[in-house]
Structure 1
Amino acid sequence: MNLDIEQLPAACDVLVVGAGPAGSAAAQLLARGGRDVVLIDQHAFPRDKACGDGLIPDAHEALRRLSVWDAVMGEAQPARFVRCVGPRGGRIDVPAMLAVLPRRRLDEIVCRAAVAAGARMFAPLRFIQPLEDGDAVVGARLQHGEVTRELRARWVVLATGAVPQALLAAGMALRHTPSGVALRGYVKHEAPAASINALEVVWHRTLAPGYGWIFPCPGGVFNIGVGTLDRPTRQPGGEANLRQVFDDFTRIHTPARELLAGGTLLGPLKGAPLRCTLEGARLSRPGLLVTGEAAGSTYSFTGEGIGKALETGIHAAQALLAGARQGDAVVRADYEARLLALKPRFDLYAQANRANRHPWLADLVIWRARRSARLRQRLAGVLDETRNPGDLFTARGLLHLFTE
């Protein structure tokens, strides 16, 4: 799948930088639309990626649009519920179409589909900086080992994730710091497979302003982790020690503690920054689009990012294909309008993020949902994006809890 760097062309129609979900989605649709696409990544595939690995309904929809849903679900661990666990131990199972597949395999499947559609993949190859003609981006300077190459392109699509170096080099970063951070590990343990059969999310004052999770992967493996969407501090002037938060999670949540005590940790814990709420970066400049988590495509509150990364990558490709004959300004306006149309929903998830800061809110919602079928339906609607998550945690929303 990774072509020899010596085969790197001097020019292409579109250079896609980053072969994760957003970049590979864009590359596939562009290649399918007849564009000459070069797809690069700083790591050779397959490669690991720190993530919760959960696939919620928006990811399923995007994977279908990319014609890879069958391949993904052929390997993924399906689940029927998100199990929400409150600080006092109350829990509610929220139904949805769900699955878990480690990003090492998910990203490889989506990337291979892009290559099968005609995109040329080169890795490891690192983006150094854009080639510029005035304000316009006309390609990129790339590096492989000690060798530097230049590649001319009509368009460059940056899909480089939450690490800001590429955004900074391209002059697209509005904020250097991430929106949050997460830490996860994989634990193999056959015994809990029957009892941990949902995507389990846990709120507790010890974990605030974040949460913990346990997601069942295929083969008796569990993704266990903690995250925060608030750039929190555990002491004045200092960032939270996520390893301590992880240890707190395994101490206060019995299934997490038993999983670690009786299972085998597969490799070290890995952390990753998160960029949320479609904020922190410019979305375009002449000749360049920013997409995926580089554009802030992860939701606050849930930390879910795979589906929206795929979706923003699809939007980038669609804007480029639709505006090919109408000029740079039309493409950029179309793309930015597509993402700005998503922004109100991202803002609602940012409102709902107050539940991570104040876990008693999660306790209240869980307590009421156990007594209200209508509220359980509202929670399911949050997962499939048919209901407003912010309504649950506003003063008006909390008042409505008692009328459901």
Structure 2
Amino acid sequence: MTPERQPDGAAHSPDCDVLIVGAGPAGSACARVLALAGWRVRLVDQHPAGRDKTCGDGLIPDAHKALQRLGVLDEVMRMAQPVTHVGCIGPRGGRIDVPGSLAVLPRRELDALLLRAAQAAGAVFEQARFEAPLEDAGRVVGARLKRGDDLIEVRAPWVVLATGAVPKALTAAGMCERHTPSGVALRGYVKAPQMVGKITALEVVWDKSVRPGYGWIFPAPGGHFNIGVGVTDSHRDLGGGKGQKKDVNLRAIFDAFVATYPPAAELMRVGELVGELKGAPLRCTLTGARWSRPGLLVTGEAAGSTYSFTGEGIGKAMETGMLAADALLAHRVDDAAARAQYEAALTALKPKFDLYERANRVNAHPWLADLLIWRAKKSPRLLQRMSGVLNETSNPGNLVSLKGISRLFLE
């Protein structure tokens, strides 16, 4: 095993300005911003380009904003299924449609597009797996990667870990504070042209049968639908970074969702399941990992960029990836200053994540959804506040606080 070398043959000269591990939304967003600024970016992922990811595929307003900054929103929207509302459905069948700028694009296509955008900006991509950081006097100075059967060493002044919810890379880098996930989800694709026009919103369903989670059906391009269930509080904290899964059977929850929500039953009856149902962990609330150490930043879902309550994470993954890039651009050679800027930026986001964690009580107590839907039908002001949650101008936690619930009867 030998270090990769620069053309001059110096074994310890940097191979790139930054090594980004993980080519999902966070890693590709970070790579594109840095490459556009002239950095030599090396982007690696253990999966080939355009890999699949278990996800609801919903692009809510924060994702649109991030895609706009990356300069790819128009291209995404040409491929995506545009949607105008989130349909919130309560246990008693009540429904309220919350307006917003929304779309659905399968992650296989979105991730491939974002990777192409990073490459078009100058980032170099290769398939390789992160094994461990390279260190010099306590500072990360690159990484040991496995490429095929070969182990290689890539040296870089900065390493960005954007490795998602699976904690293996975080653990290897000494950054993992919680090994178990904060949530789990199960998703499938159904081809059902017969249902086009019948399901037009991002439908999110709360019911006792899926407690403590929720179900969803999102219309996707080409007569396909993304259907799934999620539980964003799936593990008990046992301390020391360890956890224990609660009595949560995702397949049983999915079957209950299909059995109790008529549009889901119809979709599964008339449609064709494309591939298999796939499960995945979620890391939420910007917890579970250290955000930085000398020479290394952690971003995206590895840093916990998924919202609790809704399980939405694409927009915040891209946003945190760009925040990492911004910190590096501002302080290229000042390690402490770059890390301080990045950590301050994530700290500024943390209150939003905490409010979504508070709103997670709706999943445990579905009657709260009934209450919100009932009042929103009578109160344009409340509907506007719910739309503000989508647009991040309203606090979701305030809707289900004791004060917020009491206000529902006054609006």
Q: TM-score, normalised by structure 2?
A: 0.94
* SS of corresponding position for 2:209: coil
Counterpart check, 1:142 vs 2:145: yes
Q: Can you list the C-alpha shifts for 1:82-117, whole angstroms capped at 9, x where unaligned?
A: 000000000000000000000000011111000000
Report what 1:303 is aligned to: 311
Give the CA deviation at 1:275.
0.3
Structure 1 residues not aligned, in runs of 5+: 1-5
The question of whether the paired residues in 2 share the 8 Å contact of 1:179 and 1:273 is answered with yes
Cα distance in structure 1, aligned partners of 2:245 and 2:115 = 40
Cα distance in structure 2, aligned partners of 1:146 and 1:107 = 26
Cα distance in structure 1, aligned partners of 2:341 and 2:151 = 33
Cα distance in structure 1, aligned partners of 2:22 and 2:6 = 16
The question of whether the paired residues in 2 share the 8 Å contact of 1:199 and 1:214 is answered with yes
Report what 2:375 is aligned to: 368
* SS of corresponding position for 1:174: coil
Cα distance in structure 2, aligned partners of 1:366 and 1:333 = 42
Cα distance in structure 1, aligned partners of 2:100 and 2:246 = 38
- Opposite residue 83 of structure 1, the aligned amino acid is G
Report what 1:382 is aligned to: 389
Q: TM-score, normalised by structure 1?
A: 0.96
Report what 1:392 is aligned to: 399
Report what 1:79 is aligned to: 83
- Opposite residue 139 of structure 1, the aligned amino acid is G
- Opposite residue 275 of structure 1, the aligned amino acid is R
Quick one: structure 1 residues 27 and 76, their matched pair in 2 at CA, closer, same or farther if it must change by over 3 Å?
Answer: same
Of residues 164, 172, 176, the one that matches 1:173 is 176
Alignment of 1:25-174 (within 5 A): 25-123=29-127, 125-174=128-177
Cα distance in structure 1, aligned partners of 2:185 and 2:329 = 35
Report what 2:323 is aligned to: 315
The question of whether the paired residues in 1 share the 8 Å contact of 2:229 and 2:250 is answered with yes
Counterpart check, 1:276 vs 2:284: yes
The question of whether the paired residues in 1 share the 8 Å contact of 2:42 and 2:124 is answered with yes
Cα distance in structure 1, aligned partners of 2:5 and 2:107 = 28
Alignment of 1:203-218 (within 5 A): 203-218=206-221
Give the CA deviation at 1:237.
6.8
Cα distance in structure 2, aligned partners of 1:146 and 1:42 = 13
Cα distance in structure 2, aligned partners of 1:96 and 1:209 = 26
Q: Can you list the C-alpha shifts for 1:332-383, whole angstroms capped at 9, x where unaligned?
A: 0000001100001110110000001100001100011111110100000000
- Opposite residue 280 of structure 1, the aligned amino acid is G
Cα distance in structure 2, aligned partners of 1:373 and 1:308 = 28
The question of whether the paired residues in 2 share the 8 Å contact of 1:8 and 1:122 is answered with no
Across the two proteins, how many residue pairs are aligned to each other?
395
Of residues 289, 298, 301, the one that matches 1:293 is 301
- Opposite residue 391 of structure 2, the aligned amino acid is D
Give the CA deviation at 1:239.
4.0
The question of whether the paired residues in 1 share the 8 Å contact of 2:182 and 2:235 is answered with no
Give the CA deviation at 1:134.
2.5
Quick one: structure 1 residues 256 and 7, their matched pair in 2 at CA, closer, same or farther if it must change by over 3 Å?
Answer: farther
Identity over the aligned pairs, expressed in percent? 65
Quick one: structure 1 residues 239 and 164, their matched pair in 2 at CA, closer, same or farther if it must change by over 3 Å?
Answer: farther
Cα distance in structure 1, aligned partners of 2:48 and 2:123 = 16
Cα distance in structure 2, aligned partners of 1:217 and 1:307 = 18
Cα distance in structure 2, aligned partners of 1:237 and 1:173 = 18
Cα distance in structure 2, aligned partners of 1:383 and 1:374 = 15
Cα distance in structure 1, aligned partners of 2:344 and 2:51 = 33
Structure 2 residues not aligned, in runs of 5+: 8-13, 237-243
- Opposite residue 243 of structure 1, the aligned amino acid is R
The question of whether the paired residues in 1 share the 8 Å contact of 2:327 and 2:341 is answered with yes
- Opposite residue 258 of structure 1, the aligned amino acid is E
Quick one: structure 1 residues 7 and 104, their matched pair in 2 at CA, closer, same or farther if it must change by over 3 Å?
Answer: farther
* SS of corresponding position for 1:27: helix
- Opposite residue 41 of structure 2, the aligned amino acid is V
The question of whether the paired residues in 2 share the 8 Å contact of 1:129 and 1:169 is answered with yes
Cα distance in structure 2, aligned partners of 1:46 and 1:389 = 33
Quick one: structure 1 residues 187 and 165, their matched pair in 2 at CA, closer, same or farther if it must change by over 3 Å?
Answer: same
